Structure 1
Amino acid sequence: MARRTTSGKSLVADRRYDARAAAPAKPEPKRRRRKAAPRKRGLVGWLLFPFTYLLGLGLRVAWRLGLAFGVILAGAVLYFASQMPPITTIVDARTRGSVTMLDRDGSVFAWRGDQFGGMVTADSVSPYLHDAVVATEDRRFYRHLGLSPRGIASAIRINLSEGRGPLSGNGGSTITQQVAKLLCLGVPYDTSEWESEAAYEDDCRRTTIWRKAKEAIFAMGMEVAYSKEDILTIYFNRAYLGAGSRGFEAAAQRYFGKSAAEVGPAEAAMLAGLLKAPTSYAPTSNMDRAVGRANVVIGLMEEEGYLTAEQAAEARARPAQLSDAAQAKAGGYFADWIMAQGPDFLTRDTTEDVVIRTTLDQRIQTAAETALLSIFEAKLKPSSEAQAAIVVMSADGAVRGMVGGRDVRASGEFNRATQARRQPGSAFKPFIYATALDLGWSPNDMINDAPLTINIPGSPSWTPDNYDHVFKGPVTLTEALYESRNIPAIRLSEAVGSDLVRDVARKFGIESDLAAGPALALGVSESTLLEMTGAYAGILNGGSAVQPYGLIDLRLKGDDAPLMDNQGTGLQERVIQQRAARQLTYMMSQVVARGTGTRAQIPGWELAGKSGTTNSSRDAWFIGFNAEYVVGVWMGYDDNSPMTGVTGGGLPAEIWQATVSRVVAGETPKPLPLDLPGASAGGNIVPDQGITADREILDVLGNILNGLN
């Protein structure tokens, strides 16, 4: 039986548990962390300390500045992006329009102003053209955000290695940056700020550090606002590609006569090659240079995988060829003249695209150009600076061809057919005979070719002479004309009245200030070749004046209704009777048949004309016609110096003959509208009378008479 204690507590063995374990554990006091002792820098550390401190400070400042710059840059990019207009409003931002000229058959032969062929897109142009532009101008185009640091660095390296400034020469610009320049960084043309569009474009092309920075931001803004294809679309429409072509559609039409959607690899390469230097590489300027540049582009396309080796070889073997119109480059002088036929706001200063239908016949134009060059090459020394001009005209005044100088392909140059005012010499004489015939004289009437004395009040008398220094006595009017005798011309002019002769010449279209008195008969009044040819057209058409014209109608591109319409004729009022004109035609036919113009003969053809040579052969003319066309030829020096051994019946007549031979080649000869002379109207003979003249007139006569024929 167990013992029970009196206290009622259970018995516990004192040593069974460790008293310390049984007692609740006391928390250990918190240890105080000891401060690390400062690290000893040592000598090197102390030496480097200022640099490491400044580096750390610089990195902290640079990080903050970089962040601020990034925010500002992003804001600027987004600002420009928000300002970008719709593409359709900027693909054609020309301030000037264009003029397209059509010949009499409706074919294009010349362009003026800034041509724009219409909007194209990166998707609608030929794939070859799309790829050629990317391969040539920016092969990383689809991999950058508007800038190409690698391209910029490469351009700077090339510029410095070639001794130029870092921003001169190669620019390393991406296509996006080039488009930014084309858009002038969003600055529109303002006539109040720039004197001209050229000055505006020059300002847009200025290269400065600030402009390059703005250009970079603008380019990135474009990348945000537009897709890559949109940027290419702007480029395809805004780039200048030479010969007045703005955009690839206009250039494709200008050079190849086809759309930008239809060009093949060779043509695409030539067009893309123009971007480097449009004027230098224009195929109309230098085809060999254009082909060489195109071959470089073909190589780049092959490297980028846009062309196979076979395609590249084919493109090199068969380079692009100009269209017939571009190759002919016809009628440059004529086109310049046409630009002066309409109002400036529809020609020189047009802001619209204008189409002008003209009277030009490209076959006749080519005939005139070829004739002039062939005679100059065969008969003149290469060092000769002599010039010549040709006008071919229908009887109603329609100009069919015009050559204004030896450089038959020139445009924008001095036009000797329309701008040079020179003395026609004996080429003026037909208007004296026209006046007499209209008054009733006959080609068989007689006139005295005898010494003539002109009395000058208060001064010694003056006696003119013939070119050959021979006097033949009584001669018919016909003989006097075809031998180009001076004395009979003076006598006849005074007999019918020099004032009346002057009036007839003026009505026929000679607008010059015609001389008074006897000097008039010698052709001393200056005139243009166009005026003289137009006056002769009045003889061919039966006696009616003509207004030489080249513009048939003018309309805005795409419109059917013309804004100007010439009604297809330049015929004006009648000047002399038809009978007189037909008689004069007969007399002038004898000039070619047996007179001073025999070198103008063409076997089987009836031809009429008149030569003219001024003092010391400073000017030599031959103007004549067949049944359909009047052709005028002038030859001389621009500085009015004398020619050696040149008369109107010489080289000018040969140029005339070479021109007309080509014009009528293959045609059936047609008779001239002439009347054979009957008997004399009354056997008129101008009496051997003295003529009184003013001192001023005599001075003119004395200077030029002895050289006329």
Structure 2
Amino acid sequence: MRELYPDPEKDWKPKIRRWLLESDARFDDFMFQAGRWTREIYERFSMFMDRFHIGGWRRWVFIEPLSEAATLGVGGMIVMLALAQSAFRETADDDWLKKSELAVTFLDRYGNEIGSRGIKHNDSIPLEEFPDALIKATLATEDRRFYDHFGIDVAGTLRAFTTNLRAGGVQQGGSSLSQQLAKNLFLTNERTIERKIKEAFLAIWLESRLTKNEILKLYLDRAYLGGGAFGVDAAAQFYFNKSARDVNLAEAAMLAGMFKAPTKYAPHVNLPAARARANQVLDNLVEAGFMTEGQVFGARRNPATAVDRRDDRAPNYFLDYAYDEVKKLVSTFPKSMNERVFLVRTTVDTGLQRVADTTVENLLKQYGRDYHASQSAVVIADLEGGVRAMVGGRDYTASQFNRATDALRQPGSSFKPYVYAMALESGMKPTTTVVDGPVCIGNWCPHNYEGSYRGAMTLTSAMTHSINTIAVKLSISIGNGNPKIGRAKIVALAKSMGLRTPLPDTPSLPIGADEVTVLDHTVAYATFPNLGKAVTPHALLEMRTGDGNVIWRFDRDGPKPRQVMPPAIATDMIYMMNKVTEEGTARRALLPGIRIAGKTGTTNAFRDAWFVGYTGNMVGGVWIGNDDYSSTNRMTGGSLPAMVWQAIMSYAHQGIEIKPLTGLPPAAAPTPAKNQLVSQGSGPPVLRPTLLTARGTQVLIQIEHMMDDAARTLPAGSVVSDVSADPLRPTDVAPKSGAYASASAPVSGN
């Protein structure tokens, strides 16, 4: 029964109600008081700010622009910091400076020294020993206020901007010396706003970490000064055959003038331009107040003369590529390893390299004007992926851009072997009948080179005559009627064979619309003569520390071949691609007495012309075109590229054991005799030296490795012999130094 008069002490509900009511009242009072206080503070602040109120025209002339500038400035700083984040990742490692202090001496595959990259550790010149004239010439030309700014010379930047605006072009650079060093250490030479932002932040970062003298010393040691020389001391040795300690004022002015454009002002390339630039440096010395006109008068009257280097043939494009590989390899070493001086034996064959350089230059001189072609890139590699020769352009002194490794060009029909290989993997045969006829994917309808159709033909015939419509139809068939799926399978196969560039999915992919590099495209073709095993392109055979200890060998530590295609498919591809060279578009590439296989390629508007081919010993790729993507004069891959390939490979196969291509009968013509003379286009014949046999090479390699293993087991301080103490001593006799060839890249027979 309900209680009419409940006990207040026992009823808890009224207490809860009273507590909630009290809490609500307190909250309302707090909010009221807070609002009143806020309003009072705001009114007092407004009364205070009214004292500074500016109205009328002054507000719109001064206040509003400053306010907008502050807003935009803060926003701009946030954007710049965001863009600079990737640059600061380069400096995240405390060992960032040591990573850039590599000193590498390179040997060819036979053990002969061919060049160096990086800085000189053993004889690096202290800053105080550089001539005063060289220091002043550098500062007067590159950064007069170097010791006064914080990394960015605001006044100098504004001055350069004004000067360039008046001249209507770039007359002065706005980058401080610290900014230039930041670019040399961490960035590339691309001309973008993003790079300039990164450069500015990194310059400030360098200034906070290093002293001014340390920055100047690094700049003098790291700047590229043409001719493959990095640093003023290497440049002084290259141009004047003397140490930087000993250069006079005229030579110092010439060196300082090359910082801006080493290619343009290198004295061994254009001595008049170099002297004119040196004269400008002398003017800068006077204008900056570092010297008087009387002090520079002698240098004006007696300008510097460089050593004649026209006969020097250092494989600089290859050395740049090899140095990049060294840097990548060193980055994988344990942080506990502090070694920065290395002796590296490479895969390059200097004799073949010289022939490749000369052939490209001679044939472009002879036919380049008629074809309207100005540049070329060549890669010759063994079937293990070792690069035997690399031509990155006609003239390294004129352009250090390596077209063999860095240029992205459309391969045209030379991409079709990836399509045909995938078609064979999908169940087709070389004898499968296909129909050359109209085909469209959406609104895109490809046409053949001749502009006509041939009707029914075999897959081999379609490859031989480079039929575009068949390649597109195959991409549809591979995907069982879905061209997108078919193209995805083709891309997967091409990637597995060695293409590393992005291959966007477009309907024109099967006929070579996506871009590749000459290096990747060439070595990927080695999958066919290797019976389906893909190999990795490489420039290094062996790396030793400065005291001779082997720390890396490609045959032991490098990537191993990968089976990416059934051997039967690779054999069928060899047969089909051989028909291209013997009956199709690449007959100019034929080698006397040697079976070859390959594929030509020509892109729209004749912008690119390719020939990539292989034998049982080597694979080679040739690209010819123009840097500005302008059209050639109807040049096809079967014309000049095939001729270049034929001349180089003819030399490459002299004096070695010729290996057959699987599935092909021996060539009818006799094998050329050893030491046969080979012509390089319009150049004189060249004698190919006799090399070691494959068996002899392998025996010497085993002996070398046994001696290395024995040396490691001996007690410290023991001496084996003079030879083992210096196992990579350079020699001028190829057969003798052939003992240093790697098992993965024998000297003979490949």
Is 383-392 or 517-526 further displaced after alignment? 383-392
Map of 2:110 onto structure 1:
105
On the 8 A contact 1:251/1:271 being kept in 2, the answer is: no
Aligned-pair Cα RMSD in Å? 4.7
On the 8 A contact 1:627/1:672 being kept in 2, the answer is: yes
* TM-score when normalising by structure 1: 0.54
Give the secondary-structure state (helix, strand or coil) at the position aligned to 1:341. Answer: helix
Give the secondary-structure state (helix, strand or coil) at the position aligned to 2:325. Answer: coil
Give the secondary-structure state (helix, strand or coil) at the position aligned to 1:429. Answer: helix
Task: Write the deviation string for residues 374-425 of structure 1: whole angstroms up to 9, x where unpaired.
Answer: 11011123996621100111111111111111115567x2111111111111
Map 1:238-387 onto structure 2 (within 5 A).
244=229, 277=251, 286=268, 328-343=312-327, 346=330, 352-381=340-369, 386-387=374-375
On the 8 A contact 1:242/1:274 being kept in 2, the answer is: no
Whether 2:469 is the aligned partner of 1:487: answer: yes
Map 1:189-588 onto structure 2 (within 5 A).
194=207, 200=213, 244=229, 277=251, 286=268, 328-343=312-327, 346=330, 352-381=340-369, 386-408=374-396, 413-449=400-436, 451-454=437-440, 456=442, 463-497=445-479, 498=486, 499-516=488-505, 518-562=507-551, 567=556, 570-588=559-577
1:438 Cα offset (Å): 3.0
On the 8 A contact 1:241/1:247 being kept in 2, the answer is: no
Give, as a single letter, the amino acid of the residue that structure 1 aligns with 2:531. G
Distance in 2 of aligned mates of 1:570 and 1:475: 41
Whether 2:605 is the aligned partner of 1:616: answer: yes
Task: Write the deviation string for residues 258-297 of structure 1: whole angstroms up to 9, x where unpaired.
Answer: xxxxxxxx98899966896279599x964998xxx9xxxx
Map of 1:12 onto structure 2:
none
Give, as a single letter, the amino acid of the residue that structure 2 aligns with 1:453. V
Whether 2:626 is the aligned partner of 1:637: answer: yes
Distance in 2 of aligned mates of 1:542 and 1:385: 35
Task: Write the deviation string for residues 538-566 of structure 1: whole angstroms up to 9, x where unpaired.
Answer: 11211111111112233331241316756
Distance in 2 of aligned mates of 1:592 and 1:193: 57
On the 8 A contact 2:498/2:534 being kept in 1, the answer is: yes
1:369 Cα offset (Å): 0.6
Give the secondary-structure state (helix, strand or coil) at the position aligned to 1:340. Answer: helix
Assess, with a 3 A threshold, how the Cα gap between structure 1 residues 409 and 470 changes in structure 2: closer, same or farther: same
Give the secondary-structure state (helix, strand or coil) at the position aligned to 2:550. Answer: coil
Give the secondary-structure state (helix, strand or coil) at the position aligned to 2:556. Answer: coil
Assess, with a 3 A threshold, how the Cα gap between structure 1 residues 204 and 246 changes in structure 2: closer, same or farther: closer
Give, as a single letter, the amino acid of the residue that structure 2 aligns with 1:602. L
1:567 Cα offset (Å): 2.8
Is 494-503 or 594-603 further displaced after alignment? 494-503
Give the secondary-structure state (helix, strand or coil) at the position aligned to 2:114. Answer: strand
Distance in 2 of aligned mates of 1:558 and 1:274: 36
On the 8 A contact 2:342/2:545 being kept in 1, the answer is: yes
Assess, with a 3 A threshold, how the Cα gap between structure 1 residues 366 and 528 changes in structure 2: closer, same or farther: same
Map of 1:607 onto structure 2:
596
Give the secondary-structure state (helix, strand or coil) at the position aligned to 2:551. Answer: coil
Distance in 2 of aligned mates of 1:386 and 1:409: 15
Assess, with a 3 A threshold, how the Cα gap between structure 1 residues 476 and 608 changes in structure 2: closer, same or farther: same
Task: Write the deviation string for residues 177-227 of structure 1: whole angstroms up to 9, x where unpaired.
Answer: xxxxxxxxxxxxx99774899974786899xxxxxxxxxxxxxxxxxxxxx
Distance in 2 of aligned mates of 1:205 and 1:529: 34
Give the secondary-structure state (helix, strand or coil) at the position aligned to 1:464. Answer: coil
Map 1:19-34 onto structure 2 (within 5 A).
none
On the 8 A contact 1:391/1:533 being kept in 2, the answer is: yes
Map of 1:180 onto structure 2:
none
On the 8 A contact 1:99/1:347 being kept in 2, the answer is: no
Map of 2:663 onto structure 1:
674
On the 8 A contact 1:397/1:569 being kept in 2, the answer is: no
Assess, with a 3 A threshold, how the Cα gap between structure 1 residues 95 and 669 changes in structure 2: closer, same or farther: closer
Q: How many equivalent residue pairs?
A: 444
Distance in 1 of aligned mates of 2:583 and 2:251: 57
Give unmatched runs, 5+ long, in structure 2: 1-97, 126-130, 132-202, 220-224, 259-265, 276-304, 333-337, 480-485, 666-750
Give the secondary-structure state (helix, strand or coil) at the position aligned to 2:515. Answer: coil
Assess, with a 3 A threshold, how the Cα gap between structure 1 residues 636 and 405 changes in structure 2: closer, same or farther: same
Distance in 2 of aligned mates of 1:328 and 1:488: 48
Distance in 2 of aligned mates of 1:96 and 1:668: 42
1:631 Cα offset (Å): 0.6
Assess, with a 3 A threshold, how the Cα gap between structure 1 residues 241 and 483 changes in structure 2: closer, same or farther: closer
Assess, with a 3 A threshold, how the Cα gap between structure 1 residues 642 and 269 changes in structure 2: closer, same or farther: closer
Distance in 2 of aligned mates of 1:433 and 1:474: 17
1:105 Cα offset (Å): 1.4
1:430 Cα offset (Å): 0.6
Map 1:73-92 onto structure 2 (within 5 A).
none
Assess, with a 3 A threshold, how the Cα gap between structure 1 residues 553 and 322 changes in structure 2: closer, same or farther: farther
Assess, with a 3 A threshold, how the Cα gap between structure 1 residues 399 and 513 changes in structure 2: closer, same or farther: same
Give, as a single letter, the amino acid of the residue that structure 1 aligns with 2:348. L
Give unmatched runs, 5+ long, in structure 1: 1-92, 121-132, 134-189, 207-239, 257-265, 294-318, 677-709
Assess, with a 3 A threshold, how the Cα gap between structure 1 residues 488 and 642 changes in structure 2: closer, same or farther: same
On the 8 A contact 2:370/2:633 being kept in 1, the answer is: no
On the 8 A contact 2:109/2:345 being kept in 1, the answer is: yes
Q: Which structure would you say has the larger Rg?
A: 1
Distance in 1 of aligned mates of 2:343 and 2:416: 41
Give, as a single letter, the amino acid of the residue that structure 2 aligns with 1:646. M
1:622 Cα offset (Å): 0.7
Assess, with a 3 A threshold, how the Cα gap between structure 1 residues 637 and 272 changes in structure 2: closer, same or farther: same
Assess, with a 3 A threshold, how the Cα gap between structure 1 residues 647 and 354 changes in structure 2: closer, same or farther: same
Distance in 2 of aligned mates of 1:655 and 1:369: 10
Distance in 1 of aligned mates of 2:412 and 2:226: 47
Distance in 2 of aligned mates of 1:455 and 1:620: 26
On the 8 A contact 2:364/2:373 being kept in 1, the answer is: no
Distance in 2 of aligned mates of 1:488 and 1:428: 13
1:673 Cα offset (Å): 2.4
Task: Write the deviation string for residues 477-497 of structure 1: whole angstroms up to 9, x where unpaired.
Answer: 111101101112122222123
On the 8 A contact 2:105/2:115 being kept in 1, the answer is: yes
* TM-score when normalising by structure 2: 0.51
Give, as a single letter, the amino acid of the residue that structure 2 aligns with 1:343. K
Give the secondary-structure state (helix, strand or coil) at the position aligned to 1:611. Answer: strand
Percent pairwise identity: 33
Distance in 1 of aligned mates of 2:205 and 2:342: 26
On the 8 A contact 2:601/2:610 being kept in 1, the answer is: yes
Give the secondary-structure state (helix, strand or coil) at the position aligned to 1:391. Answer: strand
Map of 1:215 onto structure 2:
none
Assess, with a 3 A threshold, how the Cα gap between structure 1 residues 360 and 101 changes in structure 2: closer, same or farther: same
1:615 Cα offset (Å): 0.5
